[in-house]
Amino acid sequence: MVSMGPLEMWTIDQEHSTGSDHEVIVMEWTPLKQDVTATPQNVTGWQIQALQANPQALEESKWDWQTRAQSRPYLGETCSAEDLAGEAIWIQEALTTVLNRHAKQLRVIP
């Protein structure tokens, strides 16, 4: 299905003649106003550039990551698919924790 943005539906109105070769198009739009009081609960990203611009915060985040990472086992050529999947989950969770601690969180209202 193709997204049409706020245009939810359109159709040609065949019940009303225009008296010319033009057609009447009937459209249905979603409300353009969003509830401005809505507060997103989930973090959707981080201000990475601001973290990179702050040398002290960047060093602290690097140290935090390195401290966590050095306790992880080395995965070599003989590791299993389950080992890789587990490591991918750990990386995602650990990186999220480090960024939540050291970078400003972004929350986007859909």
CB atoms within 10 A of CB 95: 14
pLDDT at 22: 81
Kindly report, residue by residue over 38-86, the tens digit of the pLDDT: 566 677 888 999 999 999 999 999 999 999 999 898 899 999 999 999 9
Share of the chain above pLDDT 70, in %: 83
Give the chain's end-to-end CA distance (angstroms, integer). 19
